[in-house]
Amino acid sequence: MPYRIPIGPYHPALEEPYKLQLSCTGETVQAVEIEVGFTLRAIELLAQRRNYVQDIVLVEHVCGICSNVHATAFAMAAEKIAGIQIPDRARYIRTIMGELERLHSHLLWAGIGSEDIGFRSMFMEMYYVRESIMDILEVISGNRVNYGMIAIGGVNRDIPDPKLILPKVQELRKVLENMAIPIFTRNATVKSRTVKIGPLSKQDAIKYGVVGPMARASGVNIDIRQDLPYAAYQDLDFKIVTSEDGDVQARLVVRALEMLESVRLIESALANMPSGPIRIDDPFPTIPAGEATSRVEAPRGEAFYYVASDGSDTPLRVKIRTPSYINIPAIPLLCVGQNLADMPLIQASIDPCVSCTDR
């Protein structure tokens, strides 16, 4: 007779509330039920009560980690409706902000993953490096999170001096190449906790429509930066990272290698950034009647926005589909047949964001 064990809403892997109801036989998980909605903020509904400028601030609060992604996707949808072409320099600044945010998110995840493995010194090292990325974000935007960089028609702040950023990003490359990647791929302790744990086959990944590093670690070749390039990705020769293994180790390695690609993209964007304005002349452009969708590759995968306008200053409808919303329902596939003690690490390996899911 299986016994039931609840994990959450106060969670061993995360500081966010969602609940797993596990059915176990002995130490083996037989079935998983998931509950979300503990922190619903109804941001989609609030967005159709506020104007476009207020909405940029509002959607930044969908997620504390990938706030810039949400503001970017919302602005892109509004710009498509209005037929606005943003200046080239703004495209590059949006790319740099997006990649810095990815580094900060992946390093946060690497820290949490290390702690769940029981590798405390690695956790501290990852958080130490992450602080340098947070410092860069603060130098550029004035904020550690919720940067307020995105405007409809461009960005609010320039990156005047690449020298403020480059040395720290290059330092991160050394840490990744000399420490993080060798430890994550070769260390016996890490491998014993991650190899063949929490597997997700390519077929299931496609069937459940999972996105981001979770999909790419199962051999699914999808990334919005490659499929529907936005900002300056088309100019920077973005290279996708995938793995065929589909386990926790593969998710770890894909994220680690993606950080190297982010560093390369930032270096390339800084070196090739065109001069010129950072936003269009009109600070509050009118969004005419119409509708548009936009997709941005967030650190956890594809973020999707649909915006409809009636020509007034308030959207008719704003739909937000975050990557975690599509990744979390696939958790049972990863958990069934696995050991109970691996549950926190398996949850953490998909980098679930409940703030995004509950919006």
Applying CB under 8 A, which residues contact another protein? 36-37, 40, 42, 44-45, 48-49, 80, 206-209, 222, 227-228, 292-295, 302, 304, 306, 308-312, 314-319, 321, 325-326, 329, 358
Residue placing its CB nearer to another protein in the complex, 35 or 161: 35
In the complex, least distance from residue 87 CB atom to another protein, rounded to whole angstroms: 18
**Is the CB of 180 or the CB of 333 nearer to another protein?**
333
Which residue's CB is nearer to another protein, number 260 or number 308?
308
Rounded Cα gap, residues 109 and 251, in angstroms:
11
Which structure tokens are listed for 334?
A: 């990863």
Strand partners, 293: 306
Q: Between 240 and 260, whose beta carbon lies closer to another protein?
A: 240
Q: Is the peptide bond before 299 cis (omega within 30 degrees of 0)?
A: no
For residue 259, the Cα-to-chain-centroid distance in whole angstroms is 12
| Min dist. Cβ of residue 107 to another protein (A) | 28
Q: Are 344 and 116 in contact (CB under 8 A)?
A: yes
Burial group, residue 351, by CB count within 10 angstroms (0-12, 13-18, 19+): buried
Whether the Cβ atoms of residue 264 and residue 160 lie closer than 8 Å to each other: no
Q: Which is nearer to another protein, 40 or 124 (CB)?
A: 40
CB closer to another protein, 161 vs 227 = 227
The span from the CA of 160 to the CA of 140, in Å, is 9
Q: How far apart are CA 203 and CA 212, in angstroms?
A: 15
Q: Which residue's CB is nearer to another protein, number 45 or number 124?
A: 45
Minimal distance, residue 141 CB to another protein, in Å: 28
| Minimum distance of another protein from residue 297's CB (angstroms) | 13
**Smallest gap from residue 293 Cβ to another protein (A):** 5
Pick 4 or 207: Cβ nearer another protein: 207
Q: How far is the CB of 193 from another protein (least distance, A)?
A: 29
Q: Residue 184 or residue 304: which is nearer to another protein going by CB?
A: 304
Least distance (Å) between residue 245 CB and another protein: 22
Distance of closest approach, residue 349 Cβ to another protein, in angstroms:
19
